[in-house]
Amino acid sequence: MQRLEFSVHEFMTIMGHLDFNRKGKPVEGGSSVYDEWYDQWRQLDTRLESLDPLPRADMLFDAKVVINSITDAQLFEVIGVVQEQINMHKELIDTDDEDADPEDLEGWEKRLVDLEKLQNSNNYVQ
């Protein structure tokens, strides 16, 4: 079994994106990433909100969230969110937006490569 590992920042970004699209409405017993990871995301968000800025930054960028099992549909869903992050960062860079950060774009592009390698392997739970 292949583990899927995200930085806390990546996990929070993915879930925040899904939350926005789902309008904050998880489905009880649903099988989407948002539905299955919702409770963990909310607990982690509460924990992050309780931290002072420096420990919060440390947790966001140094700590990891590990997913021990992911379905093909869920992996496809995560890849879609990562692709949307890439598109957003490219647009920020292309328009010289003050929030543009090439390092963020590079990080999401690397994450996409890793996820696509996982998707094309037989080493994850389907």
What tens-digit pLDDT sequence spans the chain (126 residues)?
A: 467 899 999 999 999 999 999 888 888 878 899 999 999 999 999 999 999 999 999 999 999 999 988 888 899 999 999 999 999 999 999 999 999 999 999 999 999 999 999 888 865 544
Whole-number pLDDT of residue 40? 94
Whole-number pLDDT of residue 122? 64
Whole-number pLDDT of residue 126? 46
CA distance 92 to 72: 30
CA distance 50 to 31: 29
pTM: 0.89
Residues 6+ apart with CB under 8 A from 108: 82, 85, 86, 89
From the CB of residue 10, how many other CB atoms can be counted at a distance below 10 Å?
21
Whole-number pLDDT of residue 71? 86
From the CB of residue 70, how many other CB atoms can be counted at a distance below 10 Å?
24
Whole-number pLDDT of residue 96? 96
How far, in Å, are 70, 102, 104 from residue 80 at the CA level?
A: 15, 20, 17
Whole-number pLDDT of residue 48? 98
Whole-number pLDDT of residue 117? 92
